């Protein structure tokens, strides 16, 4: 089995209230030096093999279900 | 008598109130189940509020692929009136029946209050009983009600008069241009975050301003 990783992130121009909440918590915890936080999602898909057809299928899954292209970008990669 | 279906997804909350509102307007309501692949001959459909499929993944993202949604999407594209309230609005956006998306409120908290709206478009299937510019009070309750879309889409919605409702006085969730509800090009599909089905009786809501949605659609169905 091979693991394929799909990372989904809010588009840069879309407000990310969850990332903002995390950012806001950092100084309270004494962590400095972080100027921005964006929060996304990571999906791990187990597949038989990472051939081109499978990766094309996973890309289709990512754009159909795992992400909403209106507000999110995604990347597909094979777990090393 | 016109029949209006209300879809119940796992996690729907306001399906009962939607059915009550439909009956109060003088139509027959029919309960539809998410796993059905049949609309049972209804003349219009309401997608109610709640947390379909636990709002997992994204609000409305899983519900959009429920068996009944294939029929709803087909029928909506053919002109059947469809109203999406709150989670129903999120489902309509995920289904691409309406453009844009709903994201977490900019202030990050769930908000529940009686919200004033301005009616911007009374030529849709669900708003003909209102006047343009009319101010109505409808309960609003959501955590992810911020309407967003790319600038081009927003300009098209504004230019084509497809913003149906705008929040009055304050923007409760960070929605672009204070947009509370929109419609498709044809005007048969309407989605909004506030809950008209909770405003049909003085006894249980802030008034009866929401009843107009359900009386409006009856005129189209006659």
Average the pLDDT over A36-62 and give the result.
96
B49 pLDDT above the threshold of 90: yes
- Residues B86 and B80: their CA atoms lie apart, in Å, by 19
| Residue B222 in this model has a pLDDT that exceeds 80 | no
B-contacting residues in A 1-40 (Cβ below 8 Å): 10, 13-15, 17-18, 20-21
Spatial contact of B121 and A34, defined as CB atoms under 8 Å apart: no
Q: Is the overall model pTM greater than 0.90, yes or no?
A: yes
Whether A15 sits inside 8 A of B58 (CB atoms) is no
Indicate the pLDDT class of residue A2, thresholds 50, 70 and 90.
very high
Residue B166 main-chain phi, psi, to 5 deg: -125, 145
pLDDT (0 to 100) of residue B114: 97
Q: A23: domain CATH number? A: 3.30.1280.10
- Mark whether B59 is an active-site residue: no
Q: What is the mean pLDDT of residues A22-49?
A: 96
B42 has pLDDT over 90: yes
Report the residue of B56, B101, B107 to disrupt the A interface, i.e. the one with the largest count of A CBs within 10 Å.
B101
* Coil, helix or strand at residue B202: coil
| Mean pLDDT of chain B, nearest integer | 97
Number of alpha carbons in the 13 Å side-chain half-sphere of residue A8? 20
* Eight-class DSSP state of A66: I
CB A69 within 8 A of CB A63: yes
Average pLDDT over residues B22-31: 97
As for how many domains chain A has, the answer is 1
Q: Please report the pLDDT score of residue B100 as a whole number.
A: 97
How many Cβ contacts (< 8 angstroms) between chains A and B? 37
pLDDT tops 80 at residue A73: yes
Note down the domain range covering A60. Answer: 2-78
The partner residue sitting opposite A68, judged by closest CB among B101, B104, B108, is B101
Average pLDDT over residues B144-158: 97
Q: Which residue of B has its CA nearest to A10?
A: B103
> Using 50, 70 and 90 to split pLDDT, how confident is the model at A80?
confident
Q: How far apart are CA B215 and CA B126, in angstroms?
A: 8
Question: Tell me, what's the pLDDT at A48?
Answer: 95
B1 pLDDT exceeds 90? no
């Amino acid at each position: 089995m091979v693991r394929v990783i799909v990372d989904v992130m809010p588009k840069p121009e879309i407000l990310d209230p969850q990332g903002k909440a995390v950012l806001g918590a950092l100084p309270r915890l004494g962590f400095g030096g972080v100027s921005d936080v964006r929060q996304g999602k990571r999906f791990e898909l187990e597949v038989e093999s990472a051939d081109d057809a499978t990766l094309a299928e996973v890309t289709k899954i990512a754009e159909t279900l795992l992400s909403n292209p209106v507000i999110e970008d995604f990347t597909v990669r094979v777990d090393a | 008598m016109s029949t209006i279906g209300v879809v119940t997804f796992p996690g729907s909350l306001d399906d009962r109130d939607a059915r009550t509102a439909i009956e109060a307007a003088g139509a027959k309501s029919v309960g539809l189940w998410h796993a059905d692949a049949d609309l049972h001959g209804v003349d219009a459909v309401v997608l109610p509020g709640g947390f379909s499929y636990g709002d997992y993944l994204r609000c409305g993202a899983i519900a959009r692929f429920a068996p009944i949604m294939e029929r709803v999407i087909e029928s909506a594209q053919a002109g059947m009136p469809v109203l999406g309230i709150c989670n129903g609005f999120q489902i309509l956006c995920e289904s691409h029946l309406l453009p844009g998306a709903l994201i977490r409120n900019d202030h990050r908290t769930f908000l529940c209050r009686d919200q004033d709206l301005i009616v911007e478009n009374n030529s849709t299937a669900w708003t003909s009983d209102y006047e343009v510019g009319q101010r109505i009070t409808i309960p609003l309750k959501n955590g992810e009600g911020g309407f967003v879309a790319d600038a081009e889409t927003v300009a098209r919605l504004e230019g084509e008069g497809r913003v149906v409702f705008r929040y009055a006085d304050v923007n409760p969730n960070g929605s672009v241009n204070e947009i509370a509800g929109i419609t498709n090009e044809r005007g048969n599909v309407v989605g909004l975050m506030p809950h008209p089905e909770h405003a049909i009786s003085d006894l249980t809501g802030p008034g009866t301003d929401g009843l107009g949605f359900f009386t409006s659609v009856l005129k189209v169905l006659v």
